[in-house]
Structure 1
Amino acid sequence: MDFVTDYSLFLAKSITVVLAILAIAGGIIALAGRGRPLGKQRLEVKYLNREYDDMAHTLKAAMLPKKVFKQLLKTRKQEIKRSREQTPDDPSKDKKRIFVLNFHGDIRASAVASLREEITVILTVARPADEVVLRLESGGGLVHAYGLAASQLTRIKDKQIRLTIAVDKIAASGGYLMACVADHIIAAPFAVVGSIGVLAQLPNFNRFLKRHDIDFEQFTAGEFKRTVTLFGENTDEDRARFRQEIDETHRLFKAFVKTHRDLDMATVATGEHWYGTRALELKLVDELCTSDDYLLDASKTAELYQVSFKPKKPFIDRLSSLASILDKGHMGRYRSEVGIHEIK
């Protein structure tokens, strides 16, 4: 009985300590998050110039003698301090700014939810001399979804801000519907580009239902409310009308592309796709270059800011991050300030 009593007291004390730690950690997270906008997303901005510099500095740490590196580190701290004292909106500071966005498209173009917010926030601060670079990766999808994504990009053009779209892997079909809006399109040599066409396909289970004595009934108002169907019997008239709808969508697609780029539509609007080298010959893109090379070169003369809306992390993930920071202690703060990921 004494053992049970002692163990119960020990267990109660342990639980109390754990709960107290969690309460304190929760309070710290709440204070750290105070002032942030409520909602399911939060804005993240990365200063890419400093990130490039950090990576180069990390490599130098491994290459240079210890004494030389310490002097370099001291100089770097002074440069960071001076840069933080500068006023970003100082009218005398006319250095070009490039805002970098990423769009990874699925069939529903669900990334447009973040894209519209990112463009909105950029347009509140962008100047005519600035530029937006969108790293685009998409094989296309729903017409209306990618139509909205392309419309979001035209907002940038309407504000007379230069828009560059970089295709490292693929911008086909709906992806190219977005890409064609750009002032300048760059693509990797083996990136897939084009596919200016429309596809629609569906199975039909009508014979299966009949074979199993299953009736399918559908009621519509309007002659063409429904044409081809999954379960009903499709007629030649239904197929012809559906073909008209597909052709009309293709016509709109071609007209939209033609508005933004001077292309030989009879050649490029066949639904085919091409690799970057051939796409350049067909004028589907303007330059063969990866986004990495383009941004690294631009960082020499411009300030690069990567803008993204991210979902808020669950409480348990934020708690884990806090525990990691506390565990690193002073060295963690040092790495955060200076940007060195590892020093041995």
Structure 2
Amino acid sequence: MEFLVDYAGFLLKLVSIALVIGFLLAIVASGKRKSQPGSLSVTKLNDNYDAMKASLDSQLFDKKVLKNLDKEKKKKDKLDKKASKKAEVTTKKRLYVLDFDGDIKASAVETMREEITAVLSVAKPEDEVVLRLESGGGVVHGYGLAASQLQRIREANIPLTVCVDKVAASGGYMMACVADKIIAAPFAILGSIGVVAQIPNVHRLLDKSLIDVELHTAGRYKRTLTMLGENTDEGREKFKQDLEDTHGLFKRFVSGQRPQLDIEAIATGDTWYGSEALENKLVDVVMTSDAYLVSNYAEADVIHIAYKQPKGVAERLGLSFFSALEYKAVSWVSKLTQTRGY
């Protein structure tokens, strides 16, 4: 029995060593793969739509009707092919569909910038870029960069349409307003043109516990408010002024993109549902993104573009739990600190 216990202990140590070595090798391999580019996924949504329609037709109609439908489709395809051959070029325009699901850091901008670069390398002025946007906003610099990436499409003279099915508020609306056309679902939430920041302060608690916190800065406004030190009225006023300055920058940006807005009436931090947003000129059309894409299937090739980043070590080893935990922790700290956000 003692021999078996010792042997089991030996095997356990051996497995532990193997796991550590495997983890170290994975880290080394990850370092070597960092320079590798991601992959671009290209899906023609028309084909998916046609496949679903054909599947439903096969269940609803008898063979005679299906035969007639198939004959009509072949005839239409033949005419389209003949017209295209006669023109010697494909006259059908393309809709490039991108997705942006925004978090507080606007992390999705890292993939969106690659997708935009890819689309701009082939898109023509008669084509269109459709961004399906969902975001409640976040940090100023993250959403400022995201909006700037969308401006690249406008500068290339490619029509840009933003579709909002659920929410495009604060920094999300900052992105949406860059578009030539904003489409929102009836109950989508839009607006929140304002700036918010909050920071807890535990100075009095530390003071009662006879705990001193020293903060040394070079520069009068290097740190206006702190979590641990004693805050001053001068620091509070400077902090509030910074928020007002950022809000002014936000209003000027939105007003420059959508001059039809009554910016002073809209930029109160309030939000509106899709139908109300249309009345306030925050959007141009009330419609779901699905309805908009389906309406274009007949006259355009609707192509979904998605850039996939190379997976990190944590993902490859099935440790995505720690990534999720880190994200939650960063979100919580960001809400408690003085990071300004749209």
Q: What residue in structure 2 maps to residue 302 of structure 1?
A: 300
Match of 1:250 in 2: 247
Return the alpha-carbon distance in structure 2 between the equivalents of residues 116 and 314 of structure 1. 19
- Tell me if the contact between 2:106 and 2:142 (Cα under 8 Å) persists in the aligned partners: yes
Aligned length: 279
Show the counterpart of 1:240.
237
Aligned to 1:272: 270
Structure 1 counterpart of 2:152: 155
Q: Secondary structure at the match of 2:43?
A: strand
Report if the CA contact (8 A) 2:111-2:309 is conserved: no
Secondary structure, in 3 states, of the residue corresponding to 1:153? Answer: helix
C-alpha distance in 1 between matches for 2:114 and 2:148 = 13
> How far does residue 41 in structure 1 lie from its aligned partner after superposition?
2.6
Matching of residue 281 in structure 1 with residue 300 in structure 2: no
Shift of 1:178: 0.2
Please point out which of 227, 232, 238 is paired with 1:230. Answer: 227
Q: Cα gap change, 1:70/1:212 in structure 2, threshold over 3 Å: closer, same or farther? A: farther
Whether 2:195 is the aligned partner of 1:188: answer: no
The one of 199, 202, 205 aligned to 1:205: 202
Instruction: Determine the C-alpha separation between the residues in 2 that align with 1:233 and 1:214.
Output: 12
Q: Aligned to 2:135, which of 130, 138, 151?
A: 138
Identity among equivalent pairs (%): 54
On the 8 A contact 2:40/2:305 being kept in 1, the answer is yes
Q: Partner residue of 2:110?
A: 113
Alignment of 1:15-30 (within 5 A): none
Please state how far the C-alpha of 1:64 moved relative to its aligned partner.
Answer: 2.6
What secondary structure, in the 3-state scheme, does the structure 2 residue paired with 1:151 have? helix
- In the alignment, the residues of structure 2 paired with residue 181 and residue 175 of structure 1 have an alpha-carbon distance, to the nearest angstrom, of 11
TM-aligned CA deviation for residue 210 of structure 1: 1.2
**What is the CA distance between 1:209 and its match in structure 2?**
1.3
Taking the aligned partners of 2:248 and 2:312, their CA distance within structure 1 comes to: 45
Q: Runs of 4+ in structure 1 displaced over 6 angstroms?
A: 70-84
Instruction: For 1:228 and 1:127, locate their aligned partners in 2 and report how far apart those are by CA, in whole Å.
Output: 50
Distance across 2 between alignment mates of 1:128 and 1:301 = 16
Residue 248 of structure 1 deviates from its aligned partner by: 0.4
- 2:325 maps to none
TM-score normalised to structure 2 length: 0.75
CA 1:247–1:313: 2 relative to 1, 3 Å? closer
Contact 2:164–2:289, Cα closer than 8 Å, also in 1: yes
Q: What amino acid is the match of 1:146? A: Y
Query: Deviation at 1:91?
Result: 6.1
Deviates more, 1:60-69 or 1:211-220: 60-69
Counterparts of 1:94 and 1:82, CA distance in 2:
13
Measure the CA separation in 2 of the matches of 1:75 and 1:280. 40
Task: State the AA in 1 paired with 2:296.
Answer: A
Distance, in Å, in 2 between the alignment partners of 1:123 and 1:74 is: 38
Counterpart residue number, 1:221? 218
RMSD over aligned CA atoms reads 3.1
TM-score scaled by length of structure 1: 0.74
Deviations 1:149-177 (A, max 9, x none): 00000000000110000111000000000
Query: Counterpart amino acid of 2:265?
Result: T
Counterpart of 2:123 in structure 1 is 126
Q: After superposition, what is the alpha-carbon deviation per residue over 1:198-233, rounded to whole angstroms, capped at 9, x for unaligned?
A: 000111111121122221111111111110111111
Q: Which amino acid aligns with 2:223?
A: R
Task: Give the letter for the 1:145 counterpart.
Answer: G
Cα offset for 1:70?
Answer: 7.5
Residues 61-85 of structure 1, C-alpha deviations (whole Å, 9 max, x = no match): 222335765886799899999999x
Task: Say which SS state the counterpart of residue 200 (structure 1) adopts.
Answer: coil
- What is aligned with 2:91? 94
- Return the letter of the residue paired with 1:213: L
What CA distance in whole angstroms lies between the structure 1 residues aligned with 2:128 and 2:308? 22
Structure 1's 79 and 312: CA in aligned 2 closer, same or farther, altered over 3 A? farther
Alpha-carbon distance in 2 for matches of 1:264, 1:228? 34
Ranges in structure 2 where 5+ consecutive residues have no aligned partner: 1-33, 317-342
How far apart are the structure 2 equivalents of 1:174 and 1:108? 10
SS at match of 1:144: helix
